[in-house]
């Protein structure tokens, strides 16, 4: 019984910290301006055409995606979903302001280092809250539900396809809003391409090698 309580506590911490760290990594992506992750690329496009506060827009878009999860697989909704839904947009904004204070004019090598760190911690944090199994973000649920419904297509492939759709949508919306290509490349750049093709496989790697062993320690 004690072991069960210990594991539940660990799952709650993994879930909450995983989502919070994802929000921090989004702020890091935005600060270095080498491309945000695919979902944030789509959000940047929506932000460009819809004149409301980004944090509020993030909540609205995620509420729409939440309906998708409610209709197809309610098991993907939990603590992590709620934290992501109501706090991640604001955490990302706070993280970006902190990065601007710490590194007001980062050199290109420093920007690349921050980008790599942001990608790694985002994938690791995602693996932790996936493994905690207390809900996932409404966007993460799309690829997870798809891979479970279409059993022949593994999660990494579903994630790559979903990410590429978001990147394409973000580019189209930014251009429709009147962005020039230099502005678009501030949102969709090397960081976006790396995460679009490698985030799914990296999350799966961190799931197998780190997150699951960490959680199962309490059950051993």
User: How much of the chain exceeds pLDDT 70, in percent?
Assistant: 97
Rounded to a whole number of angstroms, the distance between the first and last alpha carbons of the chain is: 14
Domain spans, the chain: 2-217
Listed in sequence order, the residues at least 6 apart from 107 whose beta carbon sits closer than 8 Å to its beta carbon are none
Find the helix packing angle between 38-49 and 155-176, rounded to 10°. 20
pLDDT in tens, 144-174: 888 888 777 888 888 889 989 999 999 999 8
Would you say how long the chain is, in residues? Answer: 220
The confidence score (pLDDT) of residue 3 equals: 60
pLDDT score of 99 = 94
What is the tens place of the pLDDT at every residue in 140-152?
888 888 888 877 7
pTM of the model: 0.76
Contact present, 45 and 169 (Cβ < 8 Å):
yes
CA 39, chain centre distance (Å): 7
Per-residue pLDDT at 6? 78
Average pLDDT of the chain, as a whole number: 85
151, two tokens: 């059993």
Q: Which is nearest to 22 in space by CA: 116, 120, 126? A: 126
Two tokens, residue 142: 């799309």
> Does the pLDDT of residue 117 top 90, yes or no?
yes
Give me the mean pLDDT over the 19-40 stretch: 87
> Of 142, 185, 176, 175, which Cα lies nearest the Cα of 161?
142
């Amino acid at each position: 019984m004690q072991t069960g309580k210990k594991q539940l506590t660990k799952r709650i911490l993994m879930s909450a910290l995983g989502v919070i760290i994802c929000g921090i990594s989004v702020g890091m992506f935005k600060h270095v301006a080498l491309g945000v992750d695919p979902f944030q690329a789509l959000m940047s496009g929506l932000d460009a055409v819809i004149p409301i506060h980004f944090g509020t827009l993030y909540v609205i878009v995620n509420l729409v995606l939440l309906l998708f999860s409610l209709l197809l697989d309610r098991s993907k909704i939990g603590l992590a979903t709620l934290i992501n839904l109501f706090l991640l947009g604001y955490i990302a904004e706070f993280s970006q302001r902190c990065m601007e204070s710490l590194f007001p004019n980062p050199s290109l090598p420093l920007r690349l280092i921050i980008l790599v760190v942001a990608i790694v911690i985002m994938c690791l944090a995602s693996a932790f809250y996936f493994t905690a199994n207390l809900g996932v973000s409404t966007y993460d649920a799309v690829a997870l539900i798809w891979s479970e419904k279409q059993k022949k297509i593994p999660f990494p492939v579903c994630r790559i396809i979903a990410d590429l759709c978001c990147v394409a949508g973000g580019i189209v919306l930014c251009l429709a809003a009147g962005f020039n290509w230099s502005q678009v490349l501030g949102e969709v750049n090397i960081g976006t391409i790396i995460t679009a093709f490698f985030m799914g496989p990296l999350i799966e790697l961190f799931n197998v090698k780190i997150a699951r062993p960490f959680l199962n320690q309490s059950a051993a």
